[in-house]
Structure formats: C-alpha cells, structure tokens
A and B are shown apart, each in its own frame.
Chain A
Amino acid sequence: MKHLNSLIVGVAVFAVVTAITWGMLSVGDNLRPGVSPFSQDVYQLHNTVLGVVTVIGVLVFTAIFTSVILHSRNKNPVPAKFSHSTKAEIIWTAIPILILVVIAVPATQVLVDMEDTGNADMNIKVTGYQWLWKYDYLEDDISFYSALDRDSNRARQIGSDLKPQDVDNYLLEVNNPLVVPVDTKIRILLTADDVIHSWWVPDLGWKRDAIPGMVNEAWTIIEKEGTYRGQCAELCGKDHGFMPIVVEAVSKQEYNEWVTQQKGITQ
C-alpha cells in the first residue's frame, strides 16, 4: 500500500502537469485580447494575475509534495517537535500583502480608465427583453430589435431535424446585428424592460447588467473591423441561453451608408 501511494502520487502529479500544460498549449490562454483598448488592458491584467497565482500555486504544491515525499513515516520515523515560528508567520503574512499590492495597482488603473464614459462620439441605448435585445442609436435615430436567428432557433428545439453542427455560428447569430463604426468612442447605456439581463461581448472586455428601472453605462472603442459575438450573461428565464449579441464593427464610411439605408427602410 505504501508503494502504491507514492506511485499514485507520482502518476497523479505527472497527469496534472501534463493536462494543464496541454490545456495551456493546445487551447492557449482562452480569454480574448479583444478589440478595444480596454479589453486589451483587461487581457494584460488577466495574464499578470494568472501568472502570479500560478507561481504561488506551484510553490505551495511543491512544498506540499516535497513534504509528502520526504516526511513520510518511512523516511522520517521521528516527527519534529516545532509548532510555532513567529518569524515564518510574519514572512508569510507580509509577502502575500506585498504581492496583493503589486496586483492592486494595475487593477486600480484599469478600473479608473474604465469608468471614464465621458466625451463619447455616439450613444447607443441597449434594452434587454425576454428574450431579445433592442438597440436605440440616440444620435442617428435608428431603433430595432435583435433576436436569435431562425436556423439556430430551429436547431435548438428538442428532436429538431436540423443539427446544431450544421448551423453557422449556432446560438451566436442574430437577425439584426448591432452595426457600429470603428475608432469611435461609443457610450452604451443599458437598461431592461422586464427582468435583469447582462450585455456581454467578450471582445469588448466587459459585461454590464441591464436592469429594469435603472440605466447603466459603459463605453468602448472598437479598433478593428469585424464581427464580435456574445451572449446574455445574467439568468433571465427560460430562453436566457438564446439571446445572443452580435456587433458588426465597420468603417465609418460603411457605417454612414448603413445609417442612410436604415433610414430609407424606416421612412
């Protein structure tokens, strides 16, 4: 049994290290850098903190496994008698405090930047409904609803003949995407009509709750053209999993054309 234990510990440590390394290498760091200055700050911050906690974890686990190997009854039949060390306790109180301060500084900076919703070039009001989103472009006077696209909706039914695998962007596609210009500071105002929802596009770097009776605000500047997808992130009832968000970031010119076209439709 004794040998079995050390064998199992060895195999387990090996398996864990392999699995985590595999996860890191094959999937990479799964949090996305995103496409706004803020999302990239968050990404950096995430990497920093992940790095710090990984190092701490590795050190603690090394100490534990070293002790498990060296201080078993076979190897160390007579246990030591110490049960206190003021010096050690001061050290391992002080060092974590220092580490936390080192993490807190960049975290505070990023948070302060994030709160700066002033000087926006345009304002979009996002309203959460069960179970779709409504977008109001306050300056351009455009307004529309955005709901799960038809194919995803068909494929998600129990016993559907359409397979999720056969739908492009299954559950992450909408009928009317939110079209926005790049390189523009956009203030997003969030509210809801019925229950609490949460508007989340990972590439923008944040999520913010849309709460009935309240208006929340957040901002973004999208630096790269493209389509960015997200989902409602606050449980809002049976179709919570089926109210995606699609943001299409286009050049300013294309955006202006789109605005003209939309107005043509609405008039």
Chain B
Amino acid sequence: MTDTTLDNHAHQPSGLARWLFSTNHKEIGTLYLIFSLAMFLIGGAMALVIRAELFAPGLHLVNPEFFNQMTTMHALVMIFGAVMPAFVGLANWMVPLMIGAPDMALPRMNNWSFWIMPFAFTLLLATLFMPSGGPASGWTLYPPLSLQGGNSLAFVILAIHLMGISSIMGAINIIATILNMRAPGMTLLRMPMFVWTWLITAFLLIAVMPVLAGAVTMLLTDRFFGTSFFNAAGGGDPVLYQHIFWFFGHPEVYIMILPAFGIVSEIIPTFSRKKLFGYTSMVYATASIAFLSFIVWAHHMFTVGMPLGAALFFMYATMVIAVPTGIKIFNWVSTMWQGSMTFETPMLFALGFVVLFTIGGLSGVMLAIVPADFQYHDTYFVVAHFHYVLVTGAVFAIMASVYYWLPKWTGNMYNETLGKIHFWWSTFWVNVLFFPQHYLGLAGMPRRIPDYAIQFTEFNVISSIGGFAFGIGQLLFVYIVWQCARGGEKATAQVWDGARGLEWTVPSPAPLHTFDTPPDVNEPSLAAHTRGV
C-alpha cells in the first residue's frame, strides 16, 4: 500500500460486495431505482388481480379475503415500494450532480437507508404467505378492522417502521447534502427546481413519518398488549386513529408529488429551450403547498361526522391548495409558450403529466366540496382521482425523469421510437383504465368491493381492459431501460441541446466520482448551465 492508494476512490469491490457496501450516491441511486422498478411490477401485478376479478360481476378468481389483501398490498407496495424509493433514487443520483457536490453528505447512512428497504418489503410481502394472510383492511389500516387480522399485523407494522426509518434517514441525508454541500456560488435561489422540491419534500418526510410510526405503534399495542387507544369499549376512539393517520397521510400525498413537480420543472424548460417561467413563484408555491398539507388532513374523513366549523375549515383550506397548484400549472404552460419545442419521450411524458395531473387536480377541487364529498367519498370517483394524480402524476413524472437522465446514467441513448410508443401506449390505456372510474363512482359504486351490481358492468369491463393493456405496456419500459443499459448510440455530455444544469457538464455516463473539486458556479464557462443571480 502506498500513500496514493488512500486517495484512490476508483478502487472498488466487484460483484455483490460492490452493491452491498457501496457508499457511492450513484450506485445507491441505481439500487433504489431498480428496487422501485421491481416493486412497481409486483404492485402492478396485484392491481391486475384486482382488475381481473372486477372484469365481470360475480366472484370468479379470488375470494373476498384475498381481494382485500390485494387492494391493501397494492397500495402499500406502490406508495412505499415504488413511488417513494424512485424519488429517493433520483435524489441520490441527481441532487449531488445538480448542486456540484462530490457525493451525499452522509454516505454510510445512505447505504443503510437503502439496504433497510429489501428487508422491510420481505417482511411485508411475506405476510401474504402466512396462515392469517396479509393485511386486508386497506393501506390506511383503520382500526377496529385492522385489529381483527391475525398476527401478520405485527410484521406489517414492523415493515412500516423500517420504511419510516429508511425514509427519515434518506430525508436527513438529502437536507444535509443540499444545505451543506452546494458548490460555491450556488445560493438557495439558484438551485434547480428539482433540488428545491426535494428539499421541501425531505422536511415533510421528517415531520410526518414519525407520526405514522406513532399511529401504527398504537395499533400494535392495541392488538398485542391490551391497550385501548382506538378501542371504544376501553375508552378509546377509533376516529382518533384516522386523525393521526391522515395528519401523516396528507403530507405523504405531497411527498409523492412535489419531486414530480421538480422533475417536470426541469424537463419542460429543456425541451422548450426557454427558461422556467416564474422560478421564484414556483419555489414559493411549493413551500405553500407543503405548509397547507399540514392543515387539510380531515378532508379524507368528512363522513366520520365532525362539527360544522371543522368541516368548513378543512373545506376552505383544501380549496386554497388549488391556488399554488394552479400557479405551477400556469407557469409550466408559460414556460412552453413561445418556446421552441421538440417532443422527445421525456417531454411527452412531462406534457402528459401536466394535462393528466390537471384532471386529477380538478377532480380534487370537486372532492373538497364537503356536501358533494358526502356522495363522492369512498367511491370509485375517489379511486379515479388519486390514480390520476399518482399514476399519470407521480409515475409519469418518474418515467419522464428516467428517459431524461438515462443517457447521463448509462452513457447511451435509449431507443427513441420505442420510448414514444411506450408513451402513447401508456397514455391511451391509462385513460381507458381510469377515466371510466369517475363515472362508476358517480353512478354509486363503492371502492374496495370485490363484486358489484350489474349496472356497473360496462365501465368495469372497459377499465379492466385498460388496466391490462397499460400493465403489459410497462414491460416495454423495462425492455427499453435494459436495452439502453446494455448499449446503444453514445450520448454526449450535454445529451439534450436545451438542457441546463451542472449534471450536463460531466461526461456521459457520469463517472463514479464527480465534482471532486467543487465547480465555481460564477465561472463564466458555466453560465449556460446555472441560474443567474
């Protein structure tokens, strides 16, 4: 060993050890993204079980117990396994590259944050094979129903604790990185929007994941240690759980959408060849949405019966969210306006996001109206609403970001024709899948039912066809990513001619170690890649 090897970061173990022990933000980012893709496929398979059973009235494939396990697990896997880890993976890869940092601030904790996840999901998914089956009370785990299940509840709660620990550590890491490791000259208001949205998201995570941990711990003690937090017979209150859960749950919704806002705010300017319109108002809008997310939780539970004053407060506060969200949408449209647009796959997904997320946002305004919500609540109208914001919102943004940064990650261009086919296929079928669910809900079909009255048949058939076509289409996505990782047309460092940001100043593929010496953001040569002061 010579002195030089001590500084030689390029040395790394190979094979399994490389991934197990990695403290490199790019490798950990890749791990997160692969994990997320695997969970997306597992959660998607569960969704197809649901759609297959709902293809015709009558019970055909699964019994109601298993159906309820599928709706519960589909949500838990998609939320905690697919969407959240995908965003953490993107943050791992891109935040250091975007702010000119050599790595995350806390690389060993970063490794731990990731490696908790496979164990958490092994615990969670294993419950499906236990005698009492997996959780079947919906992902919200409302007591007293959730307390009726078997001992597998303990595994689910432990898994949620592990995911929470992972998320909190990830969030601390992201905040520490952004606040301490920005390149000289990169003031907060010169940061890319993706970095801003993640900074705010990370604070939300730290604020609410412990609340979820508290709620499920009370479930655990109610179930196994004889407490009565939520047991009316013992002086507890089942509605208390819902208040605590949704105090976590609503910010959680924004945890899953704010980074998507950030991604779209990167992609639309690139392909419009124009600066992001209203950067400062975007930052403030994001912060206001985050603030409001803490004072609207009870809109998830208007039907539990609450005082008039409370219902009015939560209705007004919820409606107010439409204002900053509207600002964001108007800013994206203004960014496109008089731009010089091209429509590569990332841009197509970003535009698909803006249009379809808007549909989800507008049905959200409808759901805020308390008297009308007494009709919409717990119907397929709600199912349609949150799938528009989560699938065509969060998932479309993740797809957009993968196409956008894949050349930077792999050094190869993906197959543009296949990418476009993937976009149009997904966009068409996702609407066939979810739009009819609005009609189903208005017509009176409750959610979380394994079987339905005859008059709901047509729209369920349409929705199921859409579901299978959309689901199969995602295998194309897997193929495109795999193909791109293996080879293809070499990507330049710039990749997209309109792209701005420090990540485009490093070669493609990005070497394992970047920005060993921090770039000076005020350097004239970097002017094209950074926001002006």
Contact = CB atoms under 8 A, between A and B. Distances in A.
A242 to B, nearest CB: 7
B371 A45 contact: yes
B343 A5 contact: yes
B49 interface: no
A53 B443 CA distance: 19
B276 A238 contact: no
B63 A158 contact: yes
Interface in B427-465: 427-428, 431, 435-436, 439, 442-444, 446-454
Interface residues of A, number: 103
Contacts of B308: 111-112, 115
Interface of A: 1, 4-5, 8, 12, 15-16, 19-20, 23, 27, 29-32, 38, 41-42, 45-46, 49-50, 53-54, 56-57, 60-61, 63-64, 67-68, 71-73, 76-85, 88-89, 92-93, 96-97, 100, 103-104, 107-108, 110-112, 114-115, 155-158, 160, 163-165, 169-172, 194-196, 198, 200, 202, 205-209, 211-214, 216-217, 230-242
A15 B238 CA distance: 46
Contact of A238 (B64, B326, B329, B379): B64
Interface string B327-350: 101100111111111110000000
A83 B277 contact: yes
A49 B369 contact: yes
Going nearest first, the 9 A-B pairs with the smallest beta carbon separation are A213-B232, A241-B449, A30-B442, A80-B338, A206-B374, A53-B362, A83-B275, A216-B305, A79-B340
Given A76-B340, A80-B337, 13 more contacts: A61-B358, A67-B333, A67-B337, A67-B341, A71-B336, A71-B337, A82-B338, A92-B326, A198-B303, A202-B444, A214-B305, A233-B377, A233-B379
Contacts of B64: 238-242
Contacts of A213: 232-233, 236-238
Given A72-B342, A241-B449, A156 B238 contact: no
Given A53-B366, A56-B362, A30 B439 contact: yes
A8 B345 CA distance: 14
A89 to B, nearest CB: 6
Nearest to B277: A83
A242 B57 CA distance: 13
B374 A27 contact: no
B330 A92 contact: yes
A257 B60 CA distance: 43
A41 B311 CA distance: 18
A208 B305 CA distance: 7
Contacts of A96: 322-323, 326
A202 B375 contact: yes
Contacts of A76: 338-341
Given A60-B358, A72-B342, A233 B370 contact: no
B365 interface: yes
Interface string B352-378: 001100110011011001111011011
B242 to A, nearest CB: 9
B65 interface: yes
B279 interface: yes
Chain B interface SS verdict (over half):
helix
Nearest to B440: A30
Contact of A156 (B59, B237, B320, B378): B59
B377 A207 contact: yes
B363 A53 contact: yes
A42 B145 contact: no
23 contacts: A42-B375, A46-B366, A64-B354, A76-B341, A80-B338, A83-B279, A92-B326, A103-B369, A170-B453, A171-B57, A194-B144, A195-B145, A196-B145, A202-B444, A206-B303, A207-B374, A209-B305, A212-B232, A214-B239, A233-B303, A235-B137, A240-B68, A241-B450
B272 A79 contact: yes
A216 B375 CA distance: 17
A92 B323 CA distance: 8
Contacts of B369: 45-46, 49, 103, 107
Contact of B451 (A27, A45, A46, A242): A242
A75 to B, nearest CB: 9
Contacts of A208: 303, 305, 374
